[in-house]
Amino acid sequence: MRITYYKLPQNLSAREQYRILKAEGFTSLSEPPQNLTDDEILRVLGINHQCKLSEAKRMIKKYGGSGFTEWFDKDGSFTDSTEVMLNGRNKGSYRSL
């Protein structure tokens, strides 16, 4: 099993990150109140956003940022974490055995 995450570039303001995530359907939150600080907005939004591998690749191409995939065995134990690459196949180490 795999779970893929996308992380926006850090050079974007918290409000810009919110607008991108809202436009791409990653959050259902309404516009954050003006009195919230950037740190508070980021705490609400989170850092890593779970998505499909194809969505992570699309977001990296469109906005920059990074992505990674966590790989798990059938029993649920963590086996590997790999960076999302824009070219080629994104395989966990256990698949290459």
| Contact status, residue 81 vs residue 68, Cβ threshold 8 Å | yes
**Beta pairing partners, 71:** 2, 80
Rounded to the nearest 10 degrees, how much is the dihedral formed by the CA atoms of 91, 82, 67, 46?
130
Statement: the pTM of the whole predicted model exceeds 0.85: no
pLDDT at 14: 85
pLDDT tens over the chain, length 97 residues: 899 999 999 898 888 888 888 888 887 667 777 788 888 887 877 788 889 999 999 999 999 999 999 999 989 899 989 999 888 666 554 443 3
The reported pLDDT for the residue numbered 13 is 87
Residue 97, pLDDT score: 33
